[in-house]
Amino acid sequence: MASSIVFKSFTGLRHSSQEHPKVLHSHTNPISSFSYSRFRITASKSSPKLQNRNLRVAVIGGGPAGGAAAETLAKGGIETYLIERKLDNCKPCGGAIPLCMVGEFDLPLDIIDRRVTKMKMISPSNVAVDIGRTLKPHEYIGMVRREVLDAYLRERASTNGAKVINGLFLKMDIPKKGSENINSPYVLHYTEYDGKKGGTGERKTLEVDVVIGADGANSRVAKSIDAGDYDYAIAFQERIKIPSDKMVYYENLAEMYVGDDVSPDFYGWVFPKCDHVAVGTGTVTHKGDIKKFQLATRNRARDKILGGKIIRVEAHPIPEHPRPRRLSGRVALVGDAAGYVTKCSGEGIYFAAKSGRMCAEAIVEGSGNGKRMVDESDLRKYLEKWDKTYWPTYKVLDVLQKVFYRSNPAREAFVEMCADEYVQKMTFDSYLYKRVVPGNPLEDLKLAVNTIGSLVRANALRREMDKLSA
């Protein structure tokens, strides 16, 4: 029986639960876009029909991309293996997810620590602009902890039939070229940690027909197919437990700081979690100075986090653009491994999960629910669909970063522009629902004029400040 999502009253702390994550099937959520009844089974009649077994797929990496891919494959009749080394992994991540992800991926509300309805964008000169006035009553940005979200998605994949292996992927043997080897298996080499061999684990192999690389920015699967390198940012984050009276300030509020002091090409953030805040920053161009930028971010938020205690320090690379190659034979990359993190905002959770699902859907469709072999052309449909759907979003954010993150005067103009209600509506509509929203031509013209004016004023102010400091 179908039931709708009810946005319950929420005070900020994660609801406690003694049970394992509850599996919510797609029919329970009318705003979910995922349903196997909508699949077009496109397996070619010329594709070899598998004898006495189903298609075997290994997903390397158990983050949002891997969890979403494994669940989709298992539901679609595929013999699915998910290999993840750190089942308690706490990836350094701001943890923001858009509203549409809650519906599309049937996420229960109790894994969302906070529902952010207000944001402060703070300029290099500490001018703060409040953002969120255009949000509707039910709209919010979800804040999650990756160790909670990732574990939930893996558990759901396991419940639907995927075999989750606590193991470290080492390498894979790729089938030799030639028509006689066209359907030969990929042989994966990994170390399994099951507690029986102590900390050393046990070396094992696994034969599969398809491999999905969801193993992050340092992807070993990507290296195995010579996928090429990409520029990457270093994200550095501290989780800080602050006094309860100060935590009230961040109950439904997130802060973003811009300026050369916190990052020459990104931003600093303070995002609320269940009972603490995540304070972090990132950079592509000055990785060696990341701790200096982190200290500056902490100093900018000093009065609001005073008395806080650092409870965890995290750092991780974040890709800046897609890899040159995301597909080779029957091996495809998704999530951070493919380079699916947006410029300007640095967002990756939704795009990771979405790419994992899209790739898995292409495999399910191409194999006729696991009954036939697939080839590169089947997996390429995932890439074609992905690029058609999300290329405009990546391009727009790339342009915004190049225009507004290049100097402090440009950042001042950016923050001033964020005060405009039209800008806020366009930004939140695009972010919450993951689409490039068509604008109003008259409002777009006004915005262009106002943006130029902001840039001119900011540059004039910089010249005056330069004179005073000379």
Q: 51-69 pLDDT, tens per residue?
A: 999 999 999 999 999 999 9
For residue 300, is it within any domain? no
Identify whether residues 61 and 194 lie together within a single domain: yes
For residues 7 and 13, give the distance between their C-alpha atoms in angstroms, rounded to a whole number: 15
Q: What is the mean pLDDT of the chain?
A: 84
Residues 70 and 161 in one domain: yes
Structure tokens at 218: 């340092």
**Cα 308 to Cα 247: distance, rounded to the nearest angstrom:** 10
Q: Is residue 436 part of a domain?
A: yes
Per-residue pLDDT tens over the stretch 308-349: 999 999 998 888 889 999 999 999 999 999 999 887 777 889
pLDDT above 90 coverage of the chain, percent: 60
Q: In a 10 Å sphere around its CB, with 0-12 CB exposed, 13-18 middle and 19+ buried, how is residue 180 labelled?
A: exposed
Residues ≥6 apart with Cβ < 8 Å to 419 = 129
How does residue 420 score in pLDDT terms, banded at 50, 70 and 90? confident
Q: Are residues 82 and 158 in the same domain?
A: yes
In a domain, residue 307? The reply is no
Q: What is the pLDDT of residue 94?
A: 78
* Residue written as token pair 């991926």: 105
| pLDDT score of 199 | 73
pLDDT at 19: 43
To the nearest 10°, report the CA torsion of 73, 75, 79, 80. 50
Q: What is the CATH number of the domain that holds 358?
A: 3.50.50.60
pLDDT digits (tens, 9 = 90+) for 389-408: 988 877 777 777 777 778 89
Residue 250 lies in a domain: no
Per-residue pLDDT at 196: 61
Same domain, 451 and 374: no
Q: Three-class SS string for the chain?
A: CCCCCCCCCCCCCCCCCCCCCCCCCHHHCCCCCCCHHHCCCCCCCCCCECCCCCCEEEEECCCHHHHHHHHHHHHCCCEEEEEECCCCCCCCCCCEECHHHHHHCCCCHHHCCEEECEEEEECCCCCEEEECCCCCCCCCEEECCHHHHHHHHHHHHHHCCCEEEEEEEEEEECCCCCHHHCCCCEEEEEEECCCCCCCCCEEEEEEECEEEECCCCCCHHHHHCCCCCCCEEEEEEEEEECCHHHHHHHCCEEEEEEECCCEEEEEEEEEECCCCEEEEEEECCCHHHHHHHHHHHHHHCHHHHCCCEEEEEEEEEEECCCCCCCEECCEEECHHHHCCCCCCCCCCHHHHHHHHHHHHHHHHHHCCCCCECCCHHHHHHHHHHHHHHHHHHHHHHHHHHHHHCCCHHHHHHHHHHHCCHHHHHHHHHHHHHCCCCCCCHHHHHHHHHHHHHHHHHHHHHHHHHHHHHC
**Which pLDDT value is given to residue 347?**
82
Q: Is residue 317 part of a domain?
A: no
Domain identity same for 348 and 448: no
- Pair (226, 167) in one structural domain: yes
Residue 38 clears pLDDT 50, i.e. is over it:
no
Residue 92 confidence (pLDDT): 65
Indicate if the pLDDT at residue 34 is higher than 70.
no
pLDDT for residue 139 is more than 80: yes
| Number of structural domains in the chain | 2
Longest Cα separation, the chain: 80
Instruction: Give yes or no for a contact between 184 and 176, defined as CB atoms under 8 angstroms apart.
Output: yes
105 in any annotated domain? no
- Return the bridge partners of 100, or none: none
Q: pLDDT tens-digit profile of 182-199?
A: 889 999 999 999 766 567
Examine the fold and report which residue of 349, 375, 403 is the final residue of a domain before the chain moves on.
403
pLDDT given at position 4: 36
Backbone angles phi, psi at 269, to 5 degrees: -140, 155
Domain span at 172:
48-90+145-230+324-403
Whole-number Å distance between alpha carbons of 317 and 296:
20
CA 76 from centroid of its chain's CA atoms? 24
Q: Tell me, what amino acid is at 196?
A: K
Q: What is the band of 31 on the pLDDT scale with cuts at 50, 70, 90?
A: very low
Residues 173 and 217 in one domain: yes
Decide if 10 contacts 108 (C-beta within 8 A): no
Contacts of 423 (CB under 8 A, 6+ apart): 417, 447
Q: What is the pLDDT of residue 469?
A: 57
- Is the domain of 430 the same as that of 383? no
* Alpha-carbon span 69 to 334, nearest angstrom: 9
The predicted model gives 420-427 an average pLDDT of: 84
Task: Pick the last residue of a domain from 371, 388, 403.
Answer: 403
Q: In terms of domains, do 396 and 432 share one?
A: no
Confidence of residue 28 (pLDDT cuts 50, 70, 90): very low
Q: Tokens in use for 112?
A: 């969302």
**What is the distance between the alpha carbons of residues 126 and 6, in angstroms, rounded to a whole number?**
38
Greater confidence, 45 or 333? 333
Same domain, yes or no: 80 and 212: yes
Q: Choose the weakest-confidence range: 262-271, 353-362, 451-460.
A: 451-460
- Of 253 and 346, the one with more pLDDT: 253
pLDDT digits (tens, 9 = 90+) for 284-312: 889 999 999 999 999 999 999 999 999 99
Task: Compute the distance between CA of residue 223 and CA of residue 211 in angstroms, rounded to an integer.
Answer: 13
The more confident residue out of 70 and 9 is 70
Tokens (6 digits) for 279 = 């304070």
The set of residues, in sequence order, having a beta carbon less than 8 Å from that of 240 and lying 6+ positions away, is 276, 277, 278, 279, 305, 308, 309, 310, 311
My answer on whether 182 and 59 are in the same domain is yes
Query: Cβ(284)–Cβ(232) under 8 Å?
Result: yes
d(CA 424, CA 43): 44
Q: Please check whether residue 328 is in contact with residue 227, taking contact to mean a CB–CB distance below 8 angstroms.
A: yes
Determine the pLDDT at residue 445.
Answer: 47
Q: Residue 452 has what pLDDT?
A: 53
Residue, of 424 and 255, whose pLDDT is higher? 255
pLDDT of residue 52: 93
Domain boundary among the residues 403, 434, 453 is at: 403
Give me the residues paired with residue 232 across strands. Answer: 319
Is the residue at 257 inside a domain?
no
On whether residue 173 sits in a domain, the answer given is yes
Q: Are residues 61 and 162 in the same domain?
A: yes
Chain segment 196-232, per-residue pLDDT in tens: 656 788 999 999 999 999 999 999 999 999 999 888 8
Reported as a single tens digit per residue, the pLDDT across 256-282 is 999 999 999 999 999 999 999 999 999
Instruction: Write phi, then psi, for 241 (nearest 5 degrees).
Output: -85, 115
- The pLDDT-based confidence of 116 (bands split at 50, 70, 90) is very high
